[in-house]
Amino acid sequence: MSSEKLRKLCQLGYGALTLLLAGWFIGQGIHGSYSWLFLGLLFIPLLLPLKGIFTGNPYTYAWASFILCLYLIHGLSLFYVSPADRLFASIEVLLISMLLIGLPFYARKRGRELGLGLKKKSKS
């Protein structure tokens, strides 16, 4: 798979996850389940790598996986705690799992194309 195709798939998945969680958090705010401040603090980390994801920066693709771990915990917890929300939690966990595989693969593939990486220590 080419790095461009992988990039598009990751962008599509990240956009879908962002819209899914935005809709969920707005719905929770409207119903009064959580305060708007709490929901904002929970949603803001998802927006941090947005620019780098959509510009194709391999470094952003590498570290965005760490942020997704927070949302993976949210989805797994919601699946376990709330039987009524299991469909939403399953979709959230599935999207995040695909991104946790795709983002590092793109970062590695594109980083190699650009010649980025850790420099080897010279023997002296």
Look at residue 119 and tell me if it is in a domain. Answer: no
Rounded CA-CA distance 107/113 in Å is 10
Q: Which domain holds residue 55?
A: 3-114
Q: Is residue 103 part of a domain?
A: yes
| Number of separate domains in the chain | 1
pTM, full prediction: 0.83
pLDDT surpasses 70 at 118: no
Q: Give the C-alpha separation, 7 to 30, whole Å.
A: 34
User: What is the rounded end-to-end Cα distance, in angstroms, of the chain?
Assistant: 40
Distances (CA, A) of 61 to 80, 86, 91, 105: 29, 28, 21, 9
Q: Which is more confident, 112 or 50?
A: 50
